[in-house]
Chains A and B, each alone.
Chain A
Amino acid sequence: METDEEPERIDLSPLDPAADPERWERLVGRVLLRAAPELERRSATGPLTWVAGWAMPALPLAAAVAALALAGLASANHAGASEALTAPVVQALGPPEPAYTWLAEARSPAASDLIRAIQETP
């Protein structure tokens, strides 16, 4: 069988890059140098950045939902319904506290309103 008469191991150490420690360290250094920008990018992408990345696309969706809710409230107010009527409806919907203001005022939320609403949602 071939394996029984397997030729002896060949000394390939002259090809081993680690045989020359200086050369080896230079090679490692070049790899790390080239990887540095990607490592930096990754370390900058922490949990907060991830949440922000998720939250930004969610803002237009939240705005759309809010707009629909306002349209519903506006139609409920069309027959001279007063703020006194709107407030109980708003309370019944149970939105976050900051949303009371712009819902009660029947105005579209600004970006800052949405951010406050998200931040204060339990």
Chain B
Amino acid sequence: MNDEARLVERARAGDAHAFGQLVRRHLRAAYAVALAVMRAPADAEDVCQDAFVTALERLDDCRSPERFGAWLLQIVRNRARDALRRDVVRRAAPLDAVAERPGPENPAADAERAELRERLLEGLATLTEVQRTVVLLHDMEGWRHREIGAELDLPEGTVRAHLFHARRALRARLGTGLRQES
């Protein structure tokens, strides 16, 4: 039994600390997947909350606790798609506005970051869901092609192709103002 499976077992018994560790371990990837579907950060956060609670409630159905992460992300994706389909997710820009409110120390930099964030979201909106998922998991979460392929049930070459097209489209959309990592 690996560490992941041990945490799942403890969470099954109601161990809040173990569940908290699972949340911290998987929340970023869950957020990336939710954002790829929802396209709005506040909605993605809502979906993440729902998905983690659903996962906890259904924890006894997780047959491979050592693969809790993959199982969770499937729940995240389903919850996000359901939310989109029902169109009941609140459009909560205020949450983001609060989070991105310019701070007193460097309001210019904060404003620039908020603008970049909006442009990134607009660029992501032009991609397909799978392209968004691939580019967010790879470029934001640092996943490898192989890991993304396993998660999305796609060949590694297909993941590379999605990443290529996603980056190219984003760069074309965002132009030269987009910062690059070396």
A residues lining the B interface (CB < 8 Å): 2-3, 6-18, 20, 23, 27-28, 30-32, 34-36, 38-45
**CB–CB A31/B99 < 8 A:** no
Classify chain B's interface size: 35 or more
20 CB-based A-B contacts, threshold 8 Å? A3-B160, A6-B160, A7-B164, A8-B167, A9-B180, A9-B181, A10-B135, A10-B178, A11-B139, A14-B116, A28-B20, A28-B23, A30-B45, A32-B19, A32-B20, A34-B49, A34-B52, A38-B56, A38-B57, A43-B14
Could you say which residues of chain A place their CB within 8 Å of the CB of B157?
3
Docked Cα-Cα span, A13 to B108, in Å, equals: 18
A27 to chain B, nearest CB (A): 6
**Contacts known (A8-B180, A9-B181); A42 close to B120, Cβ less than 8 A:** no
A2-B139 in contact (CB<8A): no
* A44→B14 contact, CB < 8 A: yes
B23 partner, pick from A31, A36, A45, beta carbons under 8 A = A31
Contact with A along B106-146 (1 / 0, CB 8 A): 00000001101100110000000000000110111000000
A81 vs B35: C-alpha distance when bound (angstroms): 81
Cβ–Cβ < 8 Å partners of B170 in chain A: 10
Q: How many angstroms between the C-alpha atoms of A39 and B181 in the bound complex?
A: 41
Is the contact region of chain B dominated by helix, strand, or loop, or is it mixed? helix
Q: B69 at the A/B interface (Cβ < 8 Å)? A: no
Contact call B168/A7, Cβ cutoff below 8 A: yes
Contacts of B49 on A, CB cut-off 8 Å?
Answer: 27, 30-31, 34
Mark interface residues in B88-101 (1 if CB within 8 Å of A CB, else 0).
00000000000100
Minimum CB–CB distance from B127 to chain A (whole Å) comes to 11
Q: Which of A6, A11, A14 has the most CB of B within 10 A?
A: A14
